[in-house]
A and B are shown apart, each in its own frame.
Chain A
């Protein structure tokens, strides 16, 4: 089975890829249903003997998700319908689309659909079934939207996928509940041991809703008539014979097991089916477009099947199986006939269809046979099936079966009436007096055949519907050959061996009387059609399903707009305020309700600490208050140095070193980036008023204060710290525990962090350089950044300082494993050397420092770290396992050289690369470009003057 599905996938995708291939595509496409039928034929014997073929492919075992396929009697019936009608439709497409149309897309999608549909009927796992179900929805969407340049096709496709997709989601919910209640997602196991209870009933109602949307039952039916915009082969295949039967299929599978267990399910399904059967038939009687007539007829017939299967009895399920087959045979035929007529005459409107001449005899005969089967005329298979339905319902041991039967007969009568209408319309009997302008009406012009004369179809065109019609008659007269297939299908549903026997003649009994009644009633309704139509016209005033759809969609969009308008105000301060308040209030409340509290800790650790904190808070306040941009940046720098001081007091020399180096570089960075911006902050009103901002800040401050105190009162875990300190030398071969953590114990984290740094650096350069013209080969100038000529003495001193700083940075890198230092600190100190060089000689001097480009340094650092991390994997060691060599070096003394040094060198290079990148981003001499294509203010965003400001040298 998996192989058959695979053939569909391969053929389908192959055709899609060769989208421009002509009508040979139909021949290629035939291989897929051909393969399916071949497989079907070879395995039919097992099924007819009451067995089943199972196939389970492991997929996601942890989720109890396996690609379980099961080929039993009912699946066999569905497979032969899907693939058999598929063959007919593909052959029909050869003539329908003609020689000069690219068909790869349509045929590829049809094959994919066919495979998905086979998947639906073969799946034995609910989740897998859902997957195939949605695939049929998606292919249906693409096929309805085949003429995607037309708005009508697009909206019809959207409506179809929205309705069936929403139904599918509801159904998935039902599947999950059912799977949880039943303890398995295997359909066959669930049906063998059906769970029960309120949750199961709810699940089945949800599944039924999904089935209703797919099978276009009221009130979700409106998408099916809309789908008739698709080319006729698609309507014949998906929207009458196969896909819309997916819902029926599901009801049929679940009906026998759950109709009694889940109270309320059977009434729901039966009522919806009956309403759809009658209402669909009534709508069909009002249609003038033959395709629409058939579409509403399909809704009606699907309702009939839903009723039969929903009842869930042995006899009705048997009838349902017969109706499914009968319907597929006659409805596909009728659609194909309409397509042929449309093709030949250019219209499908019964008011415009001309009388069809001699060449149309076969077509007409085929249409009459199929319509007779639809109406349930004896000697057609439709009659056999319908008779079975009446018979089953007559003897149904079920409350209200009489009412159901009465409505079924009414529905059948209406079906007979619209079958008459179809034939009469097709034969031109409903034609209105032809007007002179008939040929050039827009309807006709937009149709397939514009203004040409009616031409009779070729025999190839008529052959597929003709074969189906012949089958309808053959099985209508001698239904016995189907005993095995229909019987096996019905038995696999009800789980009993019934020994079903299909027959044309059961003697004069009630069922026959009801059939006669239905036919006679239908005939009368058709004969009195003028009067009936007047009554029916009133129905147009009723709200229809499409209005409901339109209103839901419009309401959804309006609602989405309103919600978006409230929650997405477009103001960043508002977003941040909301996020911060939420982040504070929620845990803050928890803290207040149930926080650890051991009283106040010490007020002050030491007086040095107090002094530093005083500096820190006052410069931070200053940074918040001053109106001068650069002053604020400098005050932030001072705050950073104060932090470094705190780190020293706290006993964290590595941090102090890092913070000091970062702060130096940050300050340079701020000056570089901000020198061009206006020196002062202008006063501008903001969304959050000052008071509100102060309020939010106060809440944040107070909550953090509470958290800090609560955290300090909690017992601090010493074990982790002690373990790491103890393991540092023996396992990490380093005495500086912080560095050992960074490059060894938590080296993977560090790798992630330097990746973040690299990404930020690349982003910064990209942003700063975007829209800047690539400069023609940078000309090294002898001038500093301010255009001042160089001073030899400054030059020498700077060079000396640079060399010393670089040496220090390398020392910090190498010794960092044992003494304060390491890759981060070393890189930052080297960055300070770069900054020195920049101050002396500008960007050009910085570029001359090293031959490599900044991104090369950054990338090679990252690469080195990554390689060091992964090399141990080659030796079967865990990632980042380090090797060691004991060495004695001059100056550094005894040390163990660790491969961690390479890792740390990678870190060092990343940081150095970052610094180079930063100067690359901001260090250039560019001003705002006067070129309008580069620096135009985006629309009315900026109220500020847009002329290029001169280089802000005021700094």
Chain B
């Protein structure tokens, strides 16, 4: 592990982050690619450098650490799969909107702007326990703000 490798990993992370924070899906995918490079570098530098870990070819004491290498190897292949998936997303986005921009979530936007979209009719459509198709005398009229007439004149 050298300062240089640490710096390389850090730059991959920084540049990757910069790209990921954008709205174009293809840029985000490239950003994720760079982030994985950074992650793989970190993984790899967690073990020691050395000769390839092939038993019988050199002193095992000089071998590089095989454990992070095994981890990194699967990480690389998984990244390939994920990249394919993300590219399919971009492709789909292009099919639908001729662009690969990640838009605002519209329903989230509605809520933020106070245009609630939830369905709470059943929760709020009644204002008294006595209004359930049941007969009762003291229902709404008692609410003087609704009905300003004196008690005697109410229906």
The answer to whether A and B interact is: yes
Interfacial chain B residues near A154, Cβ < 8 Å: 122
Cα distance A540–B50 when bound, in Å?
A: 86
Binds B, one of A46-54, A362-370, A741-749: A741-749
Interfacial chain B residues near A632, Cβ < 8 Å: 26-27, 30
Whose C-beta in chain B lies nearest to the C-beta of A659?
A: B76
Interfacial chain A residues near B102, Cβ < 8 Å: 572
Chain B CB within 8 A of A693 CB: yes
What are 22 A-to-B residue pairs whose CB atoms are below 8 Å?
A151-B125, A352-B135, A541-B144, A546-B129, A565-B114, A568-B111, A572-B102, A580-B17, A605-B5, A620-B11, A639-B34, A698-B14, A711-B45, A718-B48, A721-B65, A737-B66, A757-B77, A761-B84, A764-B85, A767-B91, A767-B92, A824-B74
Binding site for A on B (CB under 8 A): 1-24, 26-27, 30-31, 33-34, 37-38, 40-42, 44-57, 60, 63-67, 69-70, 72-74, 76-85, 87-92, 94-109, 111-114, 116, 118, 120-138, 142, 144, 151
Binds B, one of A202-210, A519-527, A646-654, A889-897: A646-654
Q: For B57, B69, B121, which residue has the most chain A Cβ atoms within 10 angstroms?
A: B69
Cα distance A677–B30 when bound, in Å?
A: 15
Binds B, one of A58-66, A85-93, A499-507, A938-946: A938-946
Whether the Cβ atoms of B72 and A446 lie closer than 8 Å is: no
Cα distance A333–B64 when bound, in Å?
A: 86
Binds B, one of A73-81, A111-119, A596-604: A596-604
* A contact residues, total (Cβ < 8 Å): 171
Interfacial chain B residues near A653, Cβ < 8 Å: 52
Interfacial chain A residues near B134, Cβ < 8 Å: 225, 228-229, 289, 291-292, 348
Interfacial chain B residues near A545, Cβ < 8 Å: 129
Cα distance A771–B95 when bound, in Å?
A: 9
Within 8 A of B (CB), among A350-401: 351-352
Interfacial chain B residues near A757, Cβ < 8 Å: 77-78, 80-81
Chain B CB within 8 A of A704 CB: yes
Across the interface, B9 reaches (CB within 8 A) one of A624, A696, A704, A937, namely A704
Whether the Cβ atoms of B122 and A151 lie closer than 8 Å is: yes
Cα distance A413–B33 when bound, in Å?
A: 80
A794 to chain B, nearest CB (A): 27
Whether the Cβ atoms of A349 and B135 lie closer than 8 Å is: yes
Chain B CB within 8 A of A885 CB: no
B109 to chain A, nearest CB (A): 5
Chain B CB within 8 A of A529 CB: no
Whose C-beta in chain A lies nearest to the C-beta of B19?
A: A624
Chain B CB within 8 A of A31 CB: no
Whether the Cβ atoms of A722 and B60 lie closer than 8 Å is: yes
Q: Given the known A-B contacts A152-B131, A632-B27, are A708 and B84 also in contact in the complex, defined by CB atoms under 8 Å?
A: no
Interfacial chain B residues near A537, Cβ < 8 Å: 138, 142, 151
Chain B CB within 8 A of A681 CB: yes
Besides the contacts A633-B26, A639-B34, A942-B99, what 14 more A-B pairs have beta carbons closer than 8 Å?
A226-B126, A287-B137, A288-B137, A349-B135, A537-B151, A571-B104, A576-B20, A604-B4, A613-B7, A711-B1, A724-B67, A760-B82, A824-B74, A945-B98
Whether the Cβ atoms of B108 and A629 lie closer than 8 Å is: no
Interfacial chain A residues near B66, Cβ < 8 Å: 721, 724-725, 737-738, 741
Whether the Cβ atoms of B112 and A565 lie closer than 8 Å is: yes
Interfacial chain B residues near A736, Cβ < 8 Å: 53-55
Whether the Cβ atoms of B124 and A550 lie closer than 8 Å is: yes
Whose C-beta in chain A lies nearest to the C-beta of B112?
A: A565
Binds B, one of A264-272, A305-313, A486-494, A914-922: A914-922
Cα distance A395–B45 when bound, in Å?
A: 83
0/1 per residue, A601-634, Cβ < 8 Å to B? Answer: 1111100011001001100110110000100110
Whose C-beta in chain B lies nearest to the C-beta of A740?
A: B66
B115 to chain A, nearest CB (A): 9
B23 to chain A, nearest CB (A): 5
Cα distance A922–B60 when bound, in Å?
A: 45
Whose C-beta in chain A lies nearest to the C-beta of B42?
A: A708
Cα distance A522–B18 when bound, in Å?
A: 80
Whether the Cβ atoms of A568 and B94 lie closer than 8 Å is: no
Cα distance A9–B97 when bound, in Å?
A: 53
Within 8 A of B (CB), among A668-698: 669-670, 673-674, 676-678, 681, 684, 686, 688, 693-694, 696-698
Whose C-beta in chain A lies nearest to the C-beta of B11?
A: A617
Whose C-beta in chain B lies nearest to the C-beta of A644?
A: B76
Whether the Cβ atoms of A557 and B128 lie closer than 8 Å is: no
Interfacial chain A residues near B51, Cβ < 8 Å: 651
Across the interface, B15 reaches (CB within 8 A) one of A153, A613, A697, A921, namely A697
Q: Given the known A-B contacts A651-B52, A722-B60, A824-B73, are A701 and B124 also in contact in the complex, defined by CB atoms under 8 Å?
A: no
Cα distance A691–B57 when bound, in Å?
A: 52
Whether the Cβ atoms of B70 and A742 lie closer than 8 Å is: yes
A350 to chain B, nearest CB (A): 9
Across the interface, A570 reaches (CB within 8 A) one of B18, B37, B112, namely B112
